[in-house]
Structure 1
Amino acid sequence: MPVTQVRGVRLVYEILGGSGPLVTISPGGRRGLASDRALGLLLAEAGFRALVYDRRNTGAADIALEGDSESHEQAEDLLALLRALGEAPAYVAGCSSGARLSLLLALQHPEAVKGLLLWRVTGGAYAAKRLAFNYYEQYLEAVAKGGIGAVCETEHFSALIKANPGNRARLEAMGAEAFAAQMRRWLAGFHEGSGYPVAGLSPDDLRRIAAPAVLVAGNDRVHPAEGAQSAHRLMPNATYREVLTTPVDLDVDFAGWEAATPRLAAVFIDFLRGQEARRG
């Protein structure tokens, strides 16, 4: 797959489809491009091009631990990637943490976003606690117990090293003390916005996002429907849709959403065709 360097970080990407407007897809969690490639293929079949990519700290991309917010850094990376490919502005799709970076991109660089396609936005007290541990606290525990070597052995970072062996040297060069300081910095930044209905963005932030948007509600404990409902009420040009309508008592309903990919794609294709018709 193609590799390009933006903002000092090597990202891996793939463009699915040969013609049509571009849609970027940013997955949830710290998952790589493969997790939503099936969605990209369905968009490509409908006449759009889908850009799937490994964000920093995901898949085979470089580890890059800097800044006050990982989501902010990833939003800036996506902007730089679109510009490097000559594809800005574009439609921007994202799930969970990918939705968070997509919203930040639309807030901070509205000229780069034709429209937002968001599903399973994160919000609520349960999500704030779980994600603080998943993203940051577990790695603070690892580095405190076993230094940077222990971090390299965690499930997530060992996968990043396997996919991109240079990532071990990046972690080792950073060292335990700097790694722990950065995890604490990101954790503090995450907590600043984790109490909002949509994690990471205040109600005033959402009111300022004027891009046309479609918001597909989540159905599990980390992605309750209330998050998308709140964003829909606050964002001036947003529509609200549901794909999985029954709440499930799971942290994350991976299996349900994988099975629902064709239905999700249909919602997004309808939105994209409507937007393209309005643009003439």
Structure 2
Amino acid sequence: MPIAALNGTHIPFEVIGDQGDWIALSPGGRRGMDELVPLATRIAAGGYRVVIHDRRNCGAGELAFDDRAPEFEIWADDLHALLQHLGASPAIVGGFSSGCRLSLLLALKHPEAVRALLLMRITGGAFAAERLAAKYYTDYIKRVKEGGMDALARDAHFRALIVANPSNQARLQQFDAATFLRIMRAWRADLEAGAAMPVLGATEAQLRSLTMPACVIPGTDRTHPIDVGERVQQLIAGSTWIPMQLKQQDADFIPMEAWCDDATLAEQLLAFLKTLPATGAH
């Protein structure tokens, strides 16, 4: 697996496909890139190069806690650097849930690097902000306050990160608990601030400022409600709505595999991608 040293960390990545326009896809949550391989393979077969990567604190990525910016902005900066490293900028950029948030922030911070957006399972609303703030930050704050950084190593997510990248064991042990708590509180406050926004991570004015082509495929649970996707599609001028006959479900969270199958999703995305002007990249 290739690894790029960028922005003070090492980013594992994979490029699927060897010709055509560049697409960058990011998964949701803090999940690793492996779950996107089937979808990326289907899209690459349509004539594209798809780059996937493990973000900081995800998959085989390195543990890296830094409060110079909100966590999702740091992820956006890392993907921007990776696209430049690969000579893949500007790219078609998209993702699911937190990966969708990353994509929006990349487009807002570095619009010159984004040809088009693929926005899927968009997260928004007070319920989502409260649920994710607890899952991503409050739970870890409680663990470290009660048992220090050693307690964090017993958490299922961090155990998985250490298995995927054994060097993360030392990184976790060497990190100062007080600094970790400060960073988690800062990242949590940023996410909670999104409760009043149309989508976590972006204001109405910011969404209206986006001018690149975009498609929106909504989620169907309370963390990714359909009406949040509808609002985003209304605010991004000229964006394309792809409902795929999805219906709102009475569930806090629906796993990716229960939301939509890869074959259907790839078919819909490829149909949208074919409407974009080609760059002539080879």
Would you say same fold, with TM above 0.5?
A: yes
**Paired position in structure 1 for 2:20:** 20
Q: CA deviation at 1:244?
A: 4.9
8 A contact 1:128–1:195 mirrored in 2: no
Larger helix fraction of residues: 1
How far apart, in 1, do the equivalents of 2:252 and 2:151 lie?
26
- Tell me if the contact between 1:16 and 1:50 (Cα under 8 Å) persists in the aligned partners: yes
Could you say which residue in structure 1 is the equivalent of 2:145?
144
2:21–2:278 contact (8 Å) kept in structure 1: no
| Aligned residue number for residue 273 of structure 2 | 272
Correspondent of 2:258 among 256, 259, 272: 256
Q: Deviations over 1:222-270 (max 9, x none)?
A: 100111111111111311111252222222221323x522111111111
Q: What code does the residue aligned with 1:19 have?
A: Q
SS at match of 1:93: strand
TM-score when scaled to structure 1?
0.96
Hey, what does 2:229 align to over in structure 1?
A: 228
Moved segments of 4+, more than 4 Å: 277-280
Give the root-mean-square deviation of aligned CA atoms.
Answer: 1.5
Structure 1 unaligned spans of 5+: none
Mean Cα deviation higher: 45-54 or 244-253: 244-253
Q: Give the whole-Å Cα distance in 1 for the aligned partners of 2:244 and 2:53.
A: 24
Q: Secondary structure at the match of 1:68?
A: coil
Q: How does 1:86-105 map to 2 (within 5 A)?
A: 86-105=87-106
Match of 2:212 in 1: 211
TM-score, with structure 2 as normaliser: 0.95
Q: Indicate the SS of the match to 2:275.
A: helix
Greater mean alpha carbon deviation, residues 100-109 or residues 186-195: 186-195
What secondary structure does 1:274 align onto? Answer: coil
Identity %: 41
User: In structure 2, what is the equivalent of residue 172 of structure 1?
Assistant: 173
Q: Does the Cα contact within 8 Å between 2:130 and 2:192 map onto a contact in 1?
A: no
- Is 1:244–1:260's contact at 8 Å kept on the other side of the alignment? no
Q: What is the aligned residue count? A: 279
Deviation string for 1:85-114 (max 9, x for gaps)?
111110001110000010011011110001
Indicate how the Cα distance of structure 1 residues 194 and 5 shifts in structure 2: closer, same or farther if over 3 A, else same: farther
Whether the 8 Å contact between 1:142 and 1:151 is mirrored in structure 2 is: yes
Matched letter for residue 22 of structure 1:
W
Whether the 8 Å CA contact 2:124–2:194 is kept in 1: the answer is no
In 2, Cα distance between the equivalents of 1:87 and 1:172? Answer: 36
- Structure 1 stretch displaced more, 73-82 or 268-277: 268-277
Amino acid at match of 1:17: G
Shift of 1:68: 2.9
Answer with 87-96 or 245-254: which moved more.
245-254
Aligned to 1:50: 50
Partner of 2:37: 37
Could you tell me how far apart the structure 2 residues matched to 1:39 and 1:114 are? 20
Counterpart CA distance in 1 for 2:279 and 2:69 is: 38
Q: Which amino acid aligns with 1:253?
A: I
User: 1:223 and 1:109 mapped to 2: Cα distance?
Assistant: 25
Q: CA deviation at 1:201?
A: 0.6
Asked whether the 8 Å contact 2:20–2:280 carries over to 1, the reply is no
**Structure 2: stretches of 5+ with no match in the other structure:** none
1:100 and 1:279 map into 2 onto residues whose CA distance is 28
